[in-house]
């Protein structure tokens, strides 16, 4: 197999390395001291660059924190340890430390059957009846088509790898799990019930207690994206969806190219859809910055030539995403368990090839010459790698679960009366009657939190946290000035297992617990 070669990687090399140079990757010690003068000059240059990058990212976090009115935490940078989040006040056990709004996020494709959520904030929308009816309807469709499902995890990567590798047999057929179980252990509802749940003719008892915001369709008319409010619809449109919408408002060639890109992502790995959102987010930010500069709202050095002016605007537009990337996807993705280590090189090459194919499809749909470096394989690989590496699960609990628990908790005769209607529905839904919204997202502040095996905080959704924001809660008292840490892995695992899981994040843990337990 030939290594995919992306022409933009070489034509935009200087700009790409500027986009990809975080302060910590400058390898000063790698410079050869043979020419002392040159070395000191370079050293001076690099140091200045280092200081500039530090200041810029510190400034970025300061601005972000003040825009969100957070005064209880700070983000600090350190040349040795990178970024960290620190308490700017005392917290007690159980206190809310942070609610972090994602920059980009998306629901897993396979989860879209199970949960009907706002495409921007991931709140459940419609009604309890619509959630249930829609799920049963789509499950029915899926079962009758008996299509496979894609999962944005390493298991789907290895499935993909095995499928591409003609020599291997299809051994994992049938063991593949979708978000919702098969139809075997379920009792279908009488004809017409699913439809009346969906169109609002059938009201379930006590469902008013669990009212959800009504679904607002996408402004572009794609019929794919729905929102909890017009403000979410507008925010998503401005953030990325205006470039990714397949509705009537987009021109037919653009729409066709986008549909091809989406199809490929849904059949291979839906992380590409999130990567596309990150690219669109940057392009739209770039256009906004440029418009602001032209209107004179923002001061920017316009004395240079227009290329370097555009390049510095792109760098600024890219800054929010640049805070998260670390390594290329094909270099950092963990090798799936069922792939032999002798196949590792070939596996990584195929992953790279897959990303290249996806990128070419995306490029056909939304290419913008002024943002050309964003369409390089190098940048695409770093964006995907960022979602793979940071601990960025997006989870929102389903109100359907709360609803059935509520019915179960009723006293008779209410309970008996209600269950006459709800029991057949529960039977039709089967054991996994409620599934939470699942996806991946980039949280700008949570992703700065470092790991510890004895953390002082954790990601935890309280009853009132009903959208896709990340919620961080103190698990013991935290003093002002102390670093806030969370655990990226199950901290109750034995030492060796923790270190093995953390190796996927590219580091060996040296927290107090690990130092104590090290054999
Ligand atoms: Zn919303
Ligand atoms: Zn749309
Ligand atoms: Zn540790």
Is residue 35 over pLDDT 60?
Answer: no
The predicted pLDDT at position 185 comes to 64
Task: Please state the domain extents for the chain.
Answer: 70-97+446-519, 104-429
From residue 134, alpha-carbon distances to 112, 113, 178, 299 in Å are: 10, 8, 17, 50
Count of alpha carbons within 13 angstroms of residue 110, beta-carbon side: 20
User: For residue 511, how far is its CA from the centre of ligand 3 (angstroms)?
Assistant: 4
Q: What percent of the chain has pLDDT over 90?
A: 46
User: For residue 260, how far is its CA from the centre of ligand 1 (angstroms)?
Assistant: 27
User: Where are the alpha helices (H) located in 166-221, listed in sequence order?
Assistant: 193-198
User: For residue 173, how far is its CA from the centre of ligand 1 (angstroms)?
Assistant: 37
Determine the angle formed by the axes of helices 271-294 and 344-366, rounding to 10 degrees. Answer: 40
User: For residue 77, how far is its CA from the centre of ligand 2 (angstroms)?
Assistant: 39
The predicted pLDDT at position 305 comes to 67
User: For residue 260, how far is its CA from the centre of ligand 2 (angstroms)?
Assistant: 16
Ligand nearest to the CA of 455: 3
Residues, CB-to-ion distance under 5 Å, ligand 2 = 218, 220, 222, 225, 245, 247
User: For residue 29, how far is its CA from the centre of ligand 2 (angstroms)?
Assistant: 50
User: For residue 364, how far is its CA from the centre of ligand 2 (angstroms)?
Assistant: 18
Which of 50-64, 77-91, 178-192, 441-455 is least confident? 178-192
User: For residue 314, how far is its CA from the centre of ligand 2 (angstroms)?
Assistant: 25
The predicted pLDDT at position 500 comes to 87
The predicted pLDDT at position 127 comes to 94
User: For residue 475, how far is its CA from the centre of ligand 3 (angstroms)?
Assistant: 17
Ligand nearest to the CA of 119: 1
Ligand nearest to the CA of 246: 2
Which of 54-63, 154-163, 307-316 ranks highest by mean pLDDT?
Answer: 307-316
User: For residue 161, how far is its CA from the centre of ligand 1 (angstroms)?
Assistant: 36
- Distance, CA of 314 to CA of 297 (rounded, Å): 17
Ligand nearest to the CA of 516: 3
pLDDT 10s digits, 285-340: 999 998 888 776 555 555 556 777 888 889 889 988 888 777 888 888 877 788 88
Is residue 238 over pLDDT 80?
Answer: yes
The predicted pLDDT at position 390 comes to 60
Inter-residue contact 105 to 439 (CB < 8 Å)? yes
pLDDT 10s digits, 211-236: 999 999 998 999 999 999 999 999 99
Ligand nearest to the CA of 214: 1
Inter-residue contact 125 to 117 (CB < 8 Å)? yes
User: For residue 124, how far is its CA from the centre of ligand 1 (angstroms)?
Assistant: 8
**Mean pLDDT of the 236-262 span:** 91
Its pTM stands at 0.83
Nearest residue to 430 via CA among 130, 114, 129, 152: 114
Give me 202's structure tokens.
Answer: 């059938």
The predicted pLDDT at position 335 comes to 79
Is residue 168 over pLDDT 50?
Answer: no
User: For residue 175, how far is its CA from the centre of ligand 1 (angstroms)?
Assistant: 35
- Distance, CA of 452 to CA of 514 (rounded, Å): 9
Give me 70's structure tokens.
Answer: 């957070």
Is residue 56 over pLDDT 80?
Answer: no
The predicted pLDDT at position 11 comes to 83
Alpha carbon of residue 72 to chain centroid = 25
Give me 337's structure tokens.
Answer: 């368990």
User: For residue 506, how far is its CA from the centre of ligand 3 (angstroms)?
Assistant: 13
The predicted pLDDT at position 104 comes to 93
Going by C-beta distance under 8 Å and a sequence separation of 6 or more, which residues neighbour residue 145?
Answer: none
Architecture of domain 70-97+446-519: Beta Complex (2.170)
DSSP string across 123-136:
-B-S-HHHHHHHHH
Ligand nearest to the CA of 249: 2
**Mean pLDDT of the 33-52 span:** 45
**Mean pLDDT of the 453-473 span:** 91
Nearest residue to 377 via CA among 403, 414, 351: 351
User: For residue 94, how far is its CA from the centre of ligand 3 (angstroms)?
Assistant: 22
Give me 117's structure tokens.
Answer: 């959520």
User: For residue 236, how far is its CA from the centre of ligand 2 (angstroms)?
Assistant: 9
The predicted pLDDT at position 205 comes to 93
User: For residue 215, how far is its CA from the centre of ligand 1 (angstroms)?
Assistant: 9
pLDDT 10s digits, 60-106: 888 899 988 888 999 988 766 678 999 999 999 999 999 999 999 99
User: For residue 515, how far is its CA from the centre of ligand 3 (angstroms)?
Assistant: 7
**Mean pLDDT of the 368-393 span:** 86
Inter-residue contact 241 to 249 (CB < 8 Å)? no
How many Å from the N-terminal Cα to the C-terminal Cα in the chain? 43
Residues, CB-to-ion distance under 5 Å, ligand 1 = 118, 120-121, 123, 228, 232
Nearest residue to 120 via CA among 472, 470, 471, 468: 468
Give me 179's structure tokens.
Answer: 């978000």
Count of alpha carbons within 13 angstroms of residue 65, beta-carbon side: 21
User: For residue 451, how far is its CA from the centre of ligand 3 (angstroms)?
Assistant: 8
Q: Locate tokens 């699942």: which residue?
A: 438
User: For residue 119, how far is its CA from the centre of ligand 2 (angstroms)?
Assistant: 10
User: For residue 325, how far is its CA from the centre of ligand 2 (angstroms)?
Assistant: 28
Ligand nearest to the CA of 215: 1
- Higher per-residue confidence, 368 vs 34: 368
From residue 415, alpha-carbon distances to 130, 208, 408, 411, 412 in Å are: 22, 16, 7, 5, 5
Q: Locate tokens 């990150």: which residue?
A: 278
């Amino acid at each position: 197999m030939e290594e995919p070669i992306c022409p933009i990687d070489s034509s935009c090399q200087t700009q790409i390395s500027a986009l990809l140079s975080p302060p910590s990757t400058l390898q000063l010690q790698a410079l050869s001291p043979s020419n002392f003068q040159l070395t000191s000059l370079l050293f001076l240059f690099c140091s200045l660059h280092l200081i500039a990058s530090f200041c810029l990212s510190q400034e970025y976090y300061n601005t972000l924190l003040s825009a969100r009115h957070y005064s209880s935490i700070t983000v600090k940078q350190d040349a040795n340890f990178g970024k960290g989040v620190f308490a700017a006040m005392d917290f007690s056990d159980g206190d809310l430390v942070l609610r972090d709004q994602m920059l980009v996020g998306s629901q897993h494709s396979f989860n879209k059957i199970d949960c009907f959520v706002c495409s921007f904030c991931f709140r459940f929308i419609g009604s309890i009846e619509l959630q249930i009816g829609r799920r049963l309807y789509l499950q029915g469709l899926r079962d009758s088509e008996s299509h496979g499902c894609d999962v944005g995890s390493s298991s789907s990567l290895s499935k993909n790898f095995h499928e591409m590798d003609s020599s291997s047999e299809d051994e994992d057929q049938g063991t593949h799990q979708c978000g919702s179980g098969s139809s075997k252990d379920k009792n279908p509802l009488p004809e017409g019930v699913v439809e009346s749940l969906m169109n609002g003719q059938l009201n379930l008892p006590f469902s008013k207690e669990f009212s959800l915001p009504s679904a607002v369709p996408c402004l572009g008319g794609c019929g794919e994206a729905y929102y909890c409010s017009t403000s979410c619809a507008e925010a998503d449109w401005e953030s990325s969806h205006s470039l990714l919408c397949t509705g009537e408002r987009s021109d037919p060639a653009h729409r066709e190219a986008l549909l091809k890109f989406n199809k490929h992502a849904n059949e291979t790995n839906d992380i590409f859809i999130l990567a596309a959102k990150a690219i669109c987010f940057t392009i739209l930010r770039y256009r906004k910055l440029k418009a602001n500069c032209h209107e004179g709202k923002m001061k920017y050095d316009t004395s240079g030539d227009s290329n370097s002016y555009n390049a510095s605007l792109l760098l600024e537009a890219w800054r929010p995403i640049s805070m998260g990337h670390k390594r290329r996807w094909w270099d950092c993705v963990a090798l799936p368990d069922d792939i032999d280590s002798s196949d590792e090189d070939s596996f990584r090459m195929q992953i790279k090839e897959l990303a290249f194919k996806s990128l070419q499809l995306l490029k056909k749909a939304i290419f913008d010459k002024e943002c050309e470096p964003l369409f390089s394989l190098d940048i695409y690989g770093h964006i995907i790698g960022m979602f793979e590496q940071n601990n960025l699960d997006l989870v929102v609990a389903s109100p359907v679960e709360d609803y059935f628990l509520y019915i179960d908790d009723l006293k008779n005769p209410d309970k008996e009366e209600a269950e006459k209607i709800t029991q057949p529905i529960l039977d039709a839904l089967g054991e996994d009657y409620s599934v939470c919204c699942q996806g991946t997202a980039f949280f700008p502040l949570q992703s700065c939190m470092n790991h510890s095996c004895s953390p002082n905080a954790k990601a935890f959704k309280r009853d009132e946290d009903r959208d896709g924001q990340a919620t961080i809660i103190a698990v013991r008292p935290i003093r002002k000035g102390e670093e806030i840490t969370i655990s990226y892995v199950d901290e109750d695992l034995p030492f060796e297992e923790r270190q093995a899981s953390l190796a996927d994040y590219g580091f060996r843990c040296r927290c107090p617990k690990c130092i104590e337990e090290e054999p």
